[in-house]
Structures are given as structure tokens and as C-alpha cells.
């Protein structure tokens, strides 16, 4: 319980009675509690997934039994790092379905390319497993709705990996906004910048022996293997990725939506293009602006720059939250409170509170998102970012990409975010799947 914040402890206390009556969840939590540990499998372990595997392996009452990847080059190193953390080597496998067949496994961690996030998560909850799925939880809006349906239908936890929901400094900031520190919040300016180089023109080559290209593609329509897609540049192709707005913008968009207290939008506009390196294969935008309007006269703006590490207010990524009495400047592990005249009232810095760290495994980020997932499976907490909440933030970036791709303003239903009266844009609500690989709830 040491890593559970006071706010979450109250949340747990208030929800305990309801959790007891949640049949499917209580059964699997009871099974995990009986063994005093949660057993997990981690899929996609090159970079972010390897870090997650180490993180989960270092949590008390948690064991990583499988590390999974279709690229065999990454399995050995990931297994060694997990073994160092937990004192026991995990099994290394290529196909996630093997782990889903294992009755000892309580949950699946999904850190694969984004076109796999929702289909793999749906398969997992159908197999009775809980899911921790990295952001973005879905490749398109229809998949997000399917995830919410699957979570409810199969009574399993689905936590999205938007870790700022488990940053103590962000929780503190949101609590202050809720208490009226800056008055009524109504506008958020968010941004992300990073210097990324060109990806060149890909050449069709033979699939490397270490890679299962068929399984890597999975639900996505088939393409020939090219030398500039795997292992990272798939982010910039529509068939597999979602661009910078979802790859990184997700975090600040989520903080902004949380701070403003809004759900689904009424209008979305976006302009963007491949301006810096126009001659390579990159299909998304290296420069993009997304504006999202909500009921109650509230607005969120996101700026994405993928060709320079540009800093705004001293941060390469962050958010400005405007209220009727003042504003807050947020950047990862700190925030500043200003009055309407720009006078600094207070500076809160998590780095200066190292003794208050919520995550000894990853103190640089100070998030306890993984611990929150494990404790929730054990019935000692409730997840901070259930997918029905996480999807609302993902949808903002997805709609922004659709607006930019179609060069239209999207009018949306504030009850569910659906695009209204725009057939050209509406066709991007869902994707085309490789026959036989369509996800089904």
C-alpha cells in the first residue's frame, strides 16, 4: 500500500462495496490474492515494453512470466533484465496467444506497434486477462469503442498507459484546479517537440530471419517488407501508426482534458503537413496544430513539432491551463501558478520532493501507474485510467488527424464524439483489416 496516494486510498474506500459485487473481477482478484502475486505477460519488448517489463518485475507481489516479441533479437536482453529484477527468468515467446492460454497469467501488458493495441487487448480480456495497454489504446475511434465494450462485457480491467494520471505532481495540480486555484478553467495550450531526422525512401527487401513479418502485421492490411519501417518508423505510416499527435501528444492532451473537466468534443480542426523533410516516406505530419472545442465554452489546442527540440515556457513538452483568475504552466514534473497579470504565485517541483517519490523503480518520472494496475488486480486499489476514460483523450488526437487529412472542420456529437454530417471524414472512424484478422468483442 506504500505506493498508493492518499487520494487513491480514499477512492478505494469509497468504491470498495461496489468492487465486492463486481463478480468477474472479484473472482480473478481473489485468485491473484490467494497466490499473493499478480502474474503478467509483456508483449512488445524492444524499448518501452522492455522498460515496462522491468518495472512490473520489480514490483512486490508481481511476476513477469512471459516476455513476447515477433523480433527474436529483443527477447534475450529483456529476459535477462527481468530476471535481474525478480530473481526468476521469464519465458521468451513469439506469439502472445500462448500466454493467453496460460491459466496462471492474470494480465497482459501491451506495448506493441499501435495497430495491435486494441485487437490484442480485446483478445486478452476475452481470455479472462486484465490489460495494461500503452497509449494510444487504439488505432482508430471504432477500436476505442470496442475496447470500452469489451471491458464492460468481460468484467476485466483495462488500464491505458497515460502515466501522468499517476504522477503525484499532476494529481496535486488537478486537485488545485478543482479547488478553484485559477478560477474556472476554460482553455489549455499544449505542445510537444522533438528533433527527428528523415526516414528516407524505403526499399523492398527480404524479411530478416529474426522477424515474423506476418504476425507483426497482424490485423493490418498486408504490405511488402521495407527497410525503413521496423522497428520504430511504423509510427509515421497510416497503416500501422497514429503520428506524433497520439505517439506523444496523448499525454498533454490528456492532462488538458483532465484539467478542464471535459469529455467529448463538439468541434475539431487541424492543419499540418510534412514540411521539414518533404521528400521521404513519412506519411503523417511533422508540424501540426489541433484545436478542440467542448460544451461549456472550453477549448484545447495542441502543437506538434517533430523536426526541432523547441521549448515553450522552458519545456519541450507541456501545457498552459488558463482560468478566470489565473493560469498554470505545467511541464512534466513541475508546475507554476500565475495570476492574470503574469505574476508568479507559486512553483511546485516534484524533483525537489525526492523523498515523496511514488515510484522507486522509475523515480525520474515519479509515476506509480504500473503499481496502480497491480494493486487494482489484487483488489487494493482502483485503476487511475480505465480505458473508457483514456479513450476520450485518445479520440482528440485521432479526430485531429482526421480533420487534417480531410481538410475539414469536424462537428461532433458531444455525447460520444461521433463525426456528424461529413461522409468523407466519417469513413476514417474505423479501419480496413486484413481478412481473418478483424477484432471482435
Domain co-membership, 107 together with 61 = yes
Bigger pLDDT: 168 vs 353: 168
Query: Could you tell me if 288 and 277 are in contact, meaning their C-beta atoms sit under 8 angstroms apart?
Result: no
Report, in this order, helix, strand and coil percent for the chain, each rounded to 5.
35, 25, 40
- Strand, helix or coil for residue 320: strand
Cβ neighbors of 272 (< 8 A, separation 6 or more) are 285, 287, 288, 289, 304, 404
What pLDDT is stored for residue 399 in this prediction?
98
Q: Above 50 in pLDDT, residue 360?
A: no
Helices (H), 58-136: 75-86, 96-100, 117-126
Buried b / exposed e over 313-329, threshold 16 CB at 10 Å, is eebbbbbbbbbeebbbb
Residues 158 and 22 in one domain: yes
d(CA 238, CA 309): 24
**Mean pLDDT across 403-430:** 98
Q: What burial class does residue 423 get, using C-beta atoms within 10 Å of its C-beta: 0-12 exposed, 13-18 middle, 19+ buried?
A: exposed
Tens of pLDDT, residue by residue over 22-60, are 334 555 555 565 568 999 999 999 999 999 999 999 999
| Confidence check: pLDDT of 365 > 90 | no
Point out the domain boundary residue: 121, 136, 163: 163
Report the pLDDT value the prediction gives residue 18, as an integer from 0 to 100: 36
Tens-digit pLDDT profile for residues 117-132: 999 999 999 999 999 9
Helix (H) or strand (E) holding 318: strand 317-323
Grid cell in block for residue 108:
497482459
190 and 288 share a domain?
Answer: yes
pLDDT-derived band at 326, boundaries 50, 70, 90 = very high
pLDDT band at 5 (very low <50, low <70, confident <90, very high): very low
109, 207: one domain: no
* pLDDT tier at 1, thresholds 50, 70, 90: very low
How long a stretch of residues is the chain?
441
For residue 317, what are the domain limits? Answer: 166-352+385-426
Q: Does the residue 361 lie in any domain?
A: no
Q: Are residues 98 and 182 in the same domain?
A: no
61-118 residue pLDDT tens = 999 999 999 999 999 999 999 999 999 999 999 999 999 999 999 999 999 999 999 9
- Judged by average pLDDT, the poorest of 20-24, 378-382, 385-389 is 20-24
| Cα angle value 106/120/396 (rounded, 5°) | 110
Whether 1 is in a domain gets the answer no
How many distinct structural domains can be found in the chain?
2
Q: What is the mean pLDDT of residues 249-267?
A: 98
Residue that finishes a domain, picked among 163, 198, 218: 163
Q: Comparing C-alpha atoms, which of 336, 338, 313, 308 is closest to residue 325?
A: 338
Beta-strand (E) ranges in 69-164? 91-93, 107-110, 130-134, 158-161
**Average of per-residue pLDDT across 376-404:** 97
Q: Mean pLDDT across the stretch 185-213?
A: 97
Tell me how far apart the alpha carbons of residues 155 and 149 are, in angstroms, rounded to a whole number: 10
Q: What is the mean pLDDT of residues 204-232?
A: 98
Q: What is the domain-level CATH number for residue 237? A: 3.30.360.10
296 in a domain, yes or no?
yes
Lowest mean pLDDT among 14-23, 134-143, 272-281: 14-23
- DSSP state, residue 129: -
Last residue of a domain, one of 163, 181, 201: 163
Residues 319 and 327: their CA atoms lie apart, in Å, by 10
Assess whether 316 and 191 both reside in one domain: yes
**How confident is the model over 254-276, as a mean pLDDT?**
97
Whole-angstrom distance, CA of residue 204 vs CA of residue 25:
47
Assess contact for 404 and 288: CB atoms under 8 A.
yes
Q: Are residues 119 and 132 in the same domain?
A: yes
Same domain, 248 and 114: no
* Residue 3: per-residue pLDDT: 38
Residues 391 and 329 occupy one common structural domain: yes
The tally of CA atoms less than 13 A away on the side-chain side of residue 236 is 24
Nearest to 249 by CA among 305, 294, 207: 305
Q: Which of the two residues, 408 and 21, has the higher pLDDT score? A: 408
Establish if 377 belongs to a structural domain.
no
- Scanning the structure block, which residue is given the C-alpha cell 476520450? 392
Q: pTM, whole model, 2 decimals? A: 0.91
Amino acid at each position: 500500500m506504500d505506493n498508493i496516494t492518499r487520494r487513491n486510498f480514499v477512492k478505494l474506500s469509497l468504491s470498495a462495496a461496489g468492487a465486492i459485487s463486481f463478480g468477474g473481477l472479484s473472482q480473478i482478484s481473489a485468485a491473484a490474492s490467494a497466490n499473493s502475486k499478480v502474474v503478467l505477460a509483456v508483449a512488445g519488448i524492444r524499448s518501452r515494453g522492455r522498460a515496462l517489463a522491468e518495472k512490473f518485475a520489480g514490483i512486490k507481489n508481481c511476476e513477469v512470466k512471459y516476455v513476447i516479441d515477433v523480433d527474436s533479437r529483443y527477447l534475450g536482453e529483456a529476459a535477462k533484465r527481468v530476471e535481474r529484477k525478480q530473481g526468476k527468468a521469464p519465458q521468451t515467446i513469439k506469439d502472445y496467444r500462448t500466454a493467453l492460454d496460460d491459466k496462471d497469467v492474470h494480465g497482459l501488458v501491451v506495448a506493441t506497434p499501435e495497430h495491435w493495441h486494441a485487437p490484442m487487448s480485446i483478445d486478452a480480456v476475452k481470455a479472462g486477462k486484465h490489460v495494461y495497454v500503452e497509449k494510444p489504446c487504439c488505432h482508430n475511434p471504432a477500436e476505442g469503442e470496442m475496447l470500452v465494450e469489451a471491458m464492460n462485457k468481460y468484467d476485466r480491467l483495462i488500464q491505458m498507459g497515460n502515466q501522468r494520471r499517476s504522477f503525484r505532481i499532476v494529481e496535486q495540480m488537478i486537485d488545485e484546479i478543482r479547488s478553484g486555484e485559477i478560477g474556472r478553467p476554460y482553455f489549455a495550450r499544449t505542445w510537444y517537440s522533438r528533433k527527428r531526422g528523415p526516414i528516407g525512401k524505403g526499399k523492398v527487401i527480404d524479411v530478416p530471419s529474426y522477424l515474423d513479418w506476418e504476425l507483426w502485421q497482424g490485423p493490418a492490411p498486408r504490405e511488402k517488407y521495407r527497410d525503413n519501417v521496423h522497428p520504430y518508423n511504423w509510427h509515421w505510416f497510416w497503416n500501422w501508426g497514429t503520428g506524433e499527435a497520439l505517439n506523444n501528444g496523448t499525454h498533454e492532451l490528456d492532462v488538458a482534458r483532465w484539467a478542464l473537466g471535459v469529455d467529448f468534443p463538439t468541434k475539431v480542426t487541424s492543419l499540418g503537413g510534412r514540411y521539414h523533410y518533404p521528400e521521404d516516406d513519412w506519411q503523417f505530419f511533422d508540424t501540426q496544430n489541433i484545436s478542440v472545442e467542448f460544451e461549456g465554452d472550453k477549448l484545447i489546442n495542441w502543437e506538434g513539432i517533430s523536426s526541432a527540440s523547441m521549448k515553450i515556457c522552458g519545456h519541450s513538452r507541456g501545457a498552459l491551463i488558463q482560468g478566470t483568475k489565473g493560469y498554470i504552466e505545467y511541464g512534466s514534473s513541475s508546475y507554476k501558478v500565475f495570476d492574470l497579470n503574469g505574476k508568479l504565485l507559486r512553483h511546485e517541483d516534484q524533483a525537489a520532493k525526492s523523498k515523496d517519490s511514488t515510484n522507486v523503480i522509475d523515480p525520474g518520472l515519479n509515476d506509480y501507474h504500473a503499481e496502480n494496475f497491480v494493486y487494482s488486480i489484487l483488489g487494493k486499489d482502483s485503476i487511475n485510467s480505465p480505458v473508457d476514460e483514456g479513450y476520450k483523450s485518445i479520440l482528440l488526437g485521432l479526430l485531429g488527424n482526421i480533420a487534417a487529412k480531410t481538410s475539414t472542420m469536424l462537428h461532433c456529437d458531444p455525447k460520444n464524439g461521433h463525426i456528424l454530417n461529413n461522409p468523407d471524414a466519417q469513413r476514417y472512424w474505423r479501419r480496413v483489416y486484413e481478412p481473418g484478422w478483424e477484432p471482435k468483442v
